[in-house]
């Protein structure tokens, strides 16, 4: 089967899957004679969605056999083995997926056609779950603590809940890919499937040269001797519309009038609006991109051919990609800030950026975390928790579990030495309670009502239906909140809800 035929069938199968017709999608994919690793992965994912675990396992075996470095295929097969209760095989596949991350915090499969990011912390989350299934509680806790250090966003709150469950020797939910995520063929190749007439229609060419009997593609041309040579006029390049800019950060469109771009792309800005959005042209398509994701580009004329010189090998290296983070990303501020504490910051790092402080996880009506310097007094910890919860420090009391015991004991300044001695791997867990009364009215948790249905697109999202009451746990940024609804915790857009009532 030719590459064109394979590409056409692959694109057809993905279209069926997008329409919800899994049976037709699976039938088309299975009819492809030479299945690539990505196609075999798609077959396994469809079988997994249909709960045909044996067929899914064989398909993922085929995918891994063709590409032994496809971490997401190991991750999917690990899920299949977990559902088949083959926990030893599941553990091995999850560990292989983590190994293929090669020390990176994530792998973004979007450039390969799969709109999914495989995070190291979520792979470790599943490894911890398998250890828990095997009653290996200490190994499970160790993996989840490591996952907690790799957690970088508020949407991974399920890792905190998993760690709480492990401390009680209970199981927790498995992290899975959202149903319907498949590898899609390259859009450029799919666009080339359309037939094109490169020759055009035939034309009759008449010769003006006397006695010309040439019957080729062009008539003979009269030759003139001693014609003075004239230099060829330089070609005039077409003036491109718009001002060239370089893309600094990846941007994924949320609406149909926005345009997807990646770092390093060159776009031409047509107009910059007052709302800081720019209308640009990229690859012949027009759309909107945030202007603060762009940087003006200076285009210089290329040197003449005779001026080109071979550059030293050291200067041929491709420059490193930009290390700056995209602006306006959701960030949950934790721990010390100059407005809260005039003492030395509790987040101590060395020149390499390694963290040497202590992360204190505080269980309240919801879980918060602060970073402190090991050995700080009781009053400092209470004050930081007070700032986090927006409660008077006098209303807060703390408890901790002594090593080897599940009993939670209240403590004060005199017991701080024992508390600090229980720190393990730079982590300390405390339980917090607040005195009842008017002074704790700020403790009231805000509850909102859903205006519309919201369907989760990633495991960290919180889905709900119109009319549901959502308990708001924290504010991620101006547009997103973290909340709890129907037994689940996750993040959701603020515009989908309205303030309803406040209660404790």
Domain ranges of the chain: 3-187, 243-296, 358-440, 444-503
User: Which two tokens mark 247?
Assistant: 């893309």
Residues 109, 116 contacting (CB under 8 angstroms): yes
Q: What pLDDT is attached to residue 423?
A: 84
Give burial (CB, 10 Å; 0-12/13-18/19+) of 245. Answer: buried
Residues 219-241: what's their mean pLDDT?
51
Give the residue among 133, 132, 134 at the shortest CA–CA distance from 167.
Answer: 132
In this prediction, residue 298 has a pLDDT band, given cuts at 50, 70 and 90, of low
Give the residue among 174, 176, 175, 182 at the shortest CA–CA distance from 45.
Answer: 182
- Alpha-carbon distances of 82 from 75, 211, 333, rounded to whole Å: 11, 85, 36
Share above pLDDT 90 across residues of the chain, in percent, rounded to a whole number: 20
**Neighbouring C-beta atoms of residue 347, cutoff 10 Å:** 17
The residues, any chain, with a CB within 8 Å of residue 471's CB and separated by 6 or more, are: 445, 446, 447, 483, 484, 485
Alpha helices per DSSP H over 416-480: 416-421
Q: What pLDDT is attached to residue 335?
A: 39
Strand partners, 267: 245
User: Which two tokens mark 175?
Assistant: 């992290």
Extract the runs of DSSP E, i.e. beta strands, from 248-395.
Answer: 266-272, 277-282, 285-290, 294-296, 358-363, 367-372
Residues 427, 149 contacting (CB under 8 angstroms): no
Strand partners, 355: 349
- Range name among 77-91, 279-293, 477-491 with the lowest pLDDT average: 477-491
User: Which two tokens mark 308?
Assistant: 């080109």
Q: Do domains 358-440 and 444-503 have the same CATH topology?
A: no
pLDDT at 334 over 60: no
Residues 193-213: what's their mean pLDDT?
56
Strand partners, 480: 493
Residues 452, 466 contacting (CB under 8 angstroms): yes
In this prediction, residue 205 has a pLDDT band, given cuts at 50, 70 and 90, of low
In this prediction, residue 174 has a pLDDT band, given cuts at 50, 70 and 90, of very high
Q: Of 110 and 319, which is predicted with more confidence?
A: 110
Share above pLDDT 70 across residues of the chain, in percent, rounded to a whole number: 74
Q: What pLDDT is attached to residue 262?
A: 86
Could you tell me the end-to-end alpha-carbon distance of the chain, in angstroms, rounded to an integer?
A: 65
pLDDT at 240 over 70: no
pLDDT tens for 70-126 read 999 999 999 999 999 999 999 999 999 999 988 888 999 988 889 899 999 999 999
Mean pLDDT across the chain: 77
Residues 433, 443 contacting (CB under 8 angstroms): no
Q: What pLDDT is attached to residue 195?
A: 58
| CATH code that applies to domain 444-503 | 2.30.30.40
In this prediction, residue 223 has a pLDDT band, given cuts at 50, 70 and 90, of low
Q: Is 276 helix (H, G, I), strand (E, B) or coil?
A: coil
pLDDT tens for 255-279 read 888 888 888 888 889 988 878 888 9
Topology of domain 243-296, per CATH?
SH3 type barrels. (2.30.30)
Give burial (CB, 10 Å; 0-12/13-18/19+) of 58. Answer: middle
Cα angle 434, 439, 440 (rounded to 5 degrees) comes to 40
Give burial (CB, 10 Å; 0-12/13-18/19+) of 283. Answer: exposed
User: Which two tokens mark 361?
Assistant: 């996880």
User: Which two tokens mark 497?
Assistant: 């809800």
Residues 183, 42 contacting (CB under 8 angstroms): yes
In this prediction, residue 199 has a pLDDT band, given cuts at 50, 70 and 90, of low
Q: Of 152 and 492, which is predicted with more confidence?
A: 492
Q: Is 140 helix (H, G, I), strand (E, B) or coil?
A: helix
The residues, any chain, with a CB within 8 Å of residue 308's CB and separated by 6 or more, are: none
pLDDT tens for 438-463 read 334 444 457 888 888 888 877 678 88
Query: 358-440, which class in CATH?
Result: alpha beta
CA dist 243 and 259 (Å) reads 17
Query: 3-187, which class in CATH?
Result: mainly alpha
Backbone angles phi, psi at 370, to 5 degrees: -130, 160
Q: Of 480 and 172, which is predicted with more confidence?
A: 172
Residues 174-183: what's their mean pLDDT?
89
Q: Is 295 helix (H, G, I), strand (E, B) or coil?
A: strand
Instruction: Using DSSP bridges, classify how beta strands 408-410 and 396-401 pair: parallel, antiparallel or unpaired.
Output: antiparallel
pLDDT at 43 over 80: yes
Q: Is 398 helix (H, G, I), strand (E, B) or coil?
A: strand
Q: Of 247 and 238, which is predicted with more confidence?
A: 247
């Amino acid at each position: 089967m030719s590459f064109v035929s394979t590409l056409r069938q692959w694109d057809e199968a993905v279209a069926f899957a997008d329409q919800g017709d899994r049976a037709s999608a699976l039938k088309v994919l299975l009819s492809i004679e030479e299945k690539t690793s990505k196609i075999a992965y798609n077959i396994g994912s469809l079988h997994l969605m249909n709960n045909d675990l044996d067929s899914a396992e064989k398909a993922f075996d085929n995918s891994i056999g063709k590409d032994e470095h496809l971490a997401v295929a190991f991750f999917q097969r690990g899920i299949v083995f977990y559902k088949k209760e083959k926990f030893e095989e599941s553990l091995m596949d999850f560990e292989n997926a983590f190994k293929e991350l090669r020390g990176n915090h994530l792998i973004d499969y979007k450039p390969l056609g799969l709109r999914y990011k495989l995070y190291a912390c979520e792979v470790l989350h599943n490894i911890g779950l398998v250890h828990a299934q095997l009653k290996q509680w200490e190994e499970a806790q160790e993996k989840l603590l490591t996952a907690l250090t790799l957690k970088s966003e508020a949407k991974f709150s399920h890792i905190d809940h998993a760690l709480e469950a492990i401390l009680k020797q209970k199981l927790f939910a498995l992290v899975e890919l959202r149903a319907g995520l498949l590898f899609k063929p390259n859009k450029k190749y799919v666009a080339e499937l359309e037939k094109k007439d490169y020759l055009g229609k035939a034309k009759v060419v008449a010769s003006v040269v006397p006695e010309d009997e040439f019957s080729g593609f062009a008539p003979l041309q009269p030759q003139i001797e001693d014609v003075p040579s004239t230099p060829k006029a330089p070609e005039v390049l077409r003036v491109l519309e718009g001002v060239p800019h370089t893309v600094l950060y990846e941007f994924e469109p949320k609406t149909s009038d926005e345009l997807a771009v990646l770092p390093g792309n060159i776009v031409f800005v047509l107009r910059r609006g007052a709302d800081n959005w720019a209308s640009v042209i990229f690859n012949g398509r027009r759309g909107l991109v945030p202007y603060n994701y762009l940087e003006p580009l200076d285009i210089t004329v290329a040197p003449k051919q005779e001026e080109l010189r071979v550059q030293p090998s050291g200067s041929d290296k491709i420059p490193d990609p930009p290390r700056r983070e995209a602006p306006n990303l959701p960030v949950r501020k934790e721990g010390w800030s100059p407005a809260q504490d005039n003492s030395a910051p509790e987040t101590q790092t060395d020149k390499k950026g390694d963290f040497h402080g202590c992360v204190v996880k505080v269980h309240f009506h919801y879980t918060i975390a602060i970073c402190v310097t090991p050995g700080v007094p009781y009053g400092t910890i209470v004050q930081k928790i007070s700032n986090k919860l927006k409660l008077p420090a006098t209303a807060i009391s703390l408890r901790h579990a002594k090593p080897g015991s599940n009993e939670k004991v209240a403590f004060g300044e005199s017991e701080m030495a024992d508390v600090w001695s229980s720190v393990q791997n730079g982590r300390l867990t405390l339980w917090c309670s607040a005195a009842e009364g008017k002074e704790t009215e700020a403790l009231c948790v805000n509850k909102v009502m859903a205006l519309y249905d919201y369907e989760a697109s990633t495991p960290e999202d919180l889905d709900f239906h119109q009319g549901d009451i959502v308990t708001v746990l924290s504010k991620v940024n101006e547009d997103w909140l973290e909340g709890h609804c129907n037994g689940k915790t996750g993040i959701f857009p603020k515009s989908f809800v309205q303030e309803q009532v406040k209660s404790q």
